[in-house]
Structure 1
Amino acid sequence: MSTPAHDPRRRRLLGAGGGLLLAAALPWPAAGGEAIEIGMAGTSTGSAVWFRPRGLRIRPGQAVRWVNHDAGNVHTATAYHPANGKPLRLPQDAKPWDSGYLLPGQSFTWVFDVPGVYDYFCLPHEHAGMVGRIVVEGAPAGRPYAGTDAQLPPVAVAGFPEVEAVLSQGRVD
């Protein structure tokens, strides 16, 4: 039996499907083992460099893959951690990472298991403000590392998106 277009049951079903489409469009990363990409790039003259997005919200167990899309520069994705010669700006139980120098087209992947705020930087470009922040679901809002801000270049501190913006938007370019 065919259902007429004006049937209220059909409208409810279509409305529910639209809700599913809306939920799929929310700024959550891919599920499962798929890594979310963060691009590393800069201007053709090298006058500016960046991570895109520079703020990203993910779920525990999610992988992030940094990819160097910059044809003229090497970059790193390096955790703010004493093991990397920097103040701790990761959750206490989280392990630090350092991608090493990535040539154009190379990538590095890391899985984030501990909820919290993770700040990272590009080793050769920290003083140019090339920093990023990953917020793993379950992190508190606020400024968790304000006590270490004075130990970083001011341009790096200014480059971190607010935790609240990352939590609410899912990604901050």
Structure 2
Amino acid sequence: MGGRPDGSKVWFDPYGLLIRPGQTVRWTNEDKSNSHTATAYAPEIYDHPRRIPDGAEPFDSDYLLPGETFEVTLDVPGVYDYYCIPHELSGMVGRIIVADPGQTDFTGYPEDGLDQVILDGFPPIAEILKQGSVRKEG
């Protein structure tokens, strides 16, 4: 998690990540000026559309102050979209793909249900599968 000192831009880095089932992801708030969250898109959390695999437990870090961390272990294969509660409309969103080696079929994944500015913030699934980790430019 990062941001400019004046708060004019915030981000997850990387914002696209490929992991294997059972791996743990850790977010660290490295933004000295803001608190952030890593929150799964799920109706159970602030009534957002479900954008995590069926059967997966939604996660929410709560507000992380500068230097604080949050971890989650993801076991269910699929695509996990997440966001920062106070900065979602600023495009602070990310995507994790949990897949076994060689798994590439993620057809039927929802690409709607959110404002276009938010949807535009997610890296393409194919790019994550190809690169393994996708970072924001600039």
Tell me, yes or no, whether TM beats 0.5.
yes
Q: Which has the higher contact order (CA 8 A, sep 6+)?
A: 2
For 1:161, the equivalent position in structure 2 comes to 123
What are the Cα deviations for residues 11-43 of structure 1, in whole angstroms up to 9, with x where unaligned? xxxxxxxxxxxxxxxxxxxxxxxxxxxxx0111
The 3 A distance-change label for structure 1 pair 92 and 83 is: same
- Equivalenced residues, count: 131
For 1:110, the equivalent position in structure 2 comes to 72
Q: Residue 63 of structure 1: which of 11, 20, 24 is its match?
A: 24
For 2:63, the equivalent position in structure 1 comes to 101
TM-superposed CA distance for 1:152, in Å, is: 1.8
Q: Secondary structure at the match of 1:108?
A: strand
Length-normalised TM-score, structure 1: 0.73
Length-normalised TM-score, structure 2: 0.91
Q: Secondary structure at the match of 2:17?
A: strand
Q: Secondary structure at the match of 1:52?
A: coil
- Counterpart code for 1:81: A
Q: Residue 105 of structure 2: which of 140, 149, 158 is its match?
A: 140
Cα RMSD after superposing both structures: 1.2
CA contact (8 A) 1:78 1:121 kept: yes
Take 1:67 and 1:152, find their aligned partners in 2: how far apart are those partners? 26
Aligned-residue identity in percent: 53
Unaligned stretches of 5+ in structure 1?
Answer: 1-39
4+ runs deviating over 3 angstroms = none
CA contact (8 A) 1:79 1:121 kept: yes
CA contact (8 A) 1:56 1:166 kept: yes
Spell out the pairing of 1:21-100 with structure 2 (5 A cutoff). 40-84=1-45, 85-100=47-62
Unaligned stretches of 5+ in structure 2?
Answer: none
Question: Is the radius of gyration larger for structure 1 or structure 2?
Answer: 1
- Counterpart code for 2:110: Y
